Structure 1
Amino acid sequence: MMRRVNAGLFDMDGTLIDSEPYWLEAEIELVKSFGGHWTHEQGLTLVGSGLWDSATALQHAGVDLDQAEIIDRLSASVRTRLEEHIPWRPGAREMIGHLLDHGLPTALVTMSYRKNALTISRAMSAELGREAFAFVVAGDDVEQPKPNPEAYLTAAEALGVDVNHSVAFEDSVFGAAAAYSSGALTIGIPLHIDIPDAYMHSRWETMEHKTLDDIDNEWHRREGSA
């Protein structure tokens, strides 16, 4: 079978790491500090969205800070937790190493800001004993957050690959919609929220025990149904 996939594009929060509980804890603490109340259900509505949108939602919940300050506080809180413990998702490290072993470039495509993205990029590189990502697109690098495809298109261009022959891994509705509309083969790995089938080409439980052959099979399945 001819190999068709030429790059791996990875979301971070919820896809490589189960960090959504960290974000929820940070949101609850911040809203509570201003006398408000923030629920788990409210937090789930923000999964995968841009941090500016999250900041606006927290302002509506009573946080009397500007958006930039809210983002800084949330990001710092999550980063502190990540520096204590990184909750890797099953198969995430192995998949990136597997793609690198086969000569495919990889990029991190996240709506977290660069400081947090680099924390995970460096940790992944340390786990693999080599540079994990050739390029990192963070939330403060793009004009339009997910579900806009800008972040994925930017990553593919930086890697010098055709996004239509790239595979993107996502756990959220906003993220999957961004990857799907970019033209990338989109594999959804839902964790805390489900993803409608319309926003992904395939659904995996995790990346554990998956290989490039599995990805190529998904690519050929997509092309066969086009």
Structure 2
Amino acid sequence: MTSHHPAAVLFDMDGTLVDSERLWDVALVELAQTYGGTLSTAARRAIVGTAMAESMRILHDDIGQPHRDPDVSAAWVNARILELFRGGLRWRPGALALLGAVRQARIPTALVTSSGRALVEIALDTLGRDSFDVVVCGDEVDAAKPHPEPYLTAARLLGVPIERCVAIEDSPTGVASAVAAGAAVLAVPAEVPLAPRDGVHQLESLLAVDLDLLAGLLRRTPA
């Protein structure tokens, strides 16, 4: 690994590596329907990238049923999304090639996701269990995204300084987490548009991303 490469590349999962947000759409819409409600577009966008408890709070408020038990709703969504994930996941454009290039260069990698471990284990059948040196799941940290803990945890487990890492994200919540942690951030929006943000490099897809571009992000990040 040459000195200008990142110390590690930290990948988000849903919407960044795999096109799974459409499956979450199905599960969340169906849950709202079982409660006799309709999930609004605004609420769905607000849910992207959030931890399950917050997602259920947003959904319950959106359909006018804040009294609902978030644990019951979360269990329903988890069961449904597990079924949908087992049906197969599609890679986001450019994601597989970039992950392969990073691994070939022997740059350490982490998967940093708001999804729970049970779901991630199914996703790893597509992503590859040897594709990541570290996996940080949403139900294995005390504070989920947008808190910086998930990315700080990944850097700590890898034994690398977070300021020498590049995080790749697709959602406002994930970007906020990575920025707060101190990583250089590449944002590739999927389901939700991202507003321009200082220090965050935004692209339409990962198709044009290579190791030189990732190294350039570190040079752009203030020390």
The aligned counterpart of 1:131 is 130
Deviation for aligned residue 1:2? 4.5
Which region of structure 1 is more displaced relative to structure 2, 89-98 or 114-123?
114-123
2:221 is paired with a residue of what secondary structure?
A: helix
The aligned counterpart of 1:117 is 120
Deviation for aligned residue 1:208? 1.4
Letter of the structure 1 residue corresponding to residue 167 of structure 2: A
Letter of the structure 2 residue corresponding to residue 16 of structure 1: L
The aligned counterpart of 1:77 is 80
Correspondence 1:199-214 to 2 at 5 A: 200-214=199-213
The aligned counterpart of 1:32 is 33
The aligned counterpart of 1:178 is 177
2:185 is paired with a residue of what secondary structure?
A: strand
Deviation for aligned residue 1:53? 0.4
* Number of corresponding residues: 220
Deviation string for 1:102-121 (max 9, x for gaps)? Answer: 11111111111111112222
Preserved contact between residue 188 and residue 205 of structure 2 (Cα < 8 Å): yes
The aligned counterpart of 2:142 is 143
Which region of structure 1 is more displaced relative to structure 2, 100-109 or 116-125?
116-125
Preserved contact between residue 149 and residue 179 of structure 1 (Cα < 8 Å): yes
Pair 1:87-2:90 in alignment:
yes
Q: Over aligned residues, Cα RMSD in angstroms?
A: 1.9
The aligned counterpart of 1:162 is 161
Which region of structure 1 is more displaced relative to structure 2, 176-185 or 207-216?
207-216
Which region of structure 1 is more displaced relative to structure 2, 197-206 or 3-12?
197-206
Deviation string for 1:162-200 (max 9, x for gaps)? Answer: 111011000010100100110111000011212222265
Give the TM-score normalised by the residue count of structure 2. 0.91
In 1, Cα distance between equivalents of 2:192 and 2:221: 24
Correspondence 1:183-202 to 2 at 5 A: 183-198=182-197, 200-202=199-201
Preserved contact between residue 30 and residue 63 of structure 1 (Cα < 8 Å): no
Letter of the structure 1 residue corresponding to residue 115 of structure 2: S
In 1, Cα distance between equivalents of 2:138 and 2:198: 21
Which region of structure 1 is more displaced relative to structure 2, 32-41 or 135-144?
32-41
In 2, Cα distance between equivalents of 1:193 and 1:35: 26
Deviation for aligned residue 1:59? 2.8
In 1, Cα distance between equivalents of 2:199 and 2:47: 19
The aligned counterpart of 2:102 is 99
Deviation string for 1:133-182 (max 9, x for gaps)? Answer: 11111110111111100000001111111111011000010100100110
Preserved contact between residue 187 and residue 200 of structure 1 (Cα < 8 Å): no
Letter of the structure 1 residue corresponding to residue 203 of structure 2: W
Structure-2 change in CA distance of 1:121 and 1:77 (3 Å) = same
Gaps of 5+ in 1: none
Q: Determine what percentage of the aligned residue pairs are the same residue.
A: 33
The aligned counterpart of 2:42 is 41
In 1, Cα distance between equivalents of 2:28 and 2:67: 13
Deviation for aligned residue 1:4? 4.2
Gaps of 5+ in 2: none
Deviation for aligned residue 1:29? 0.8
The aligned counterpart of 1:22 is 23
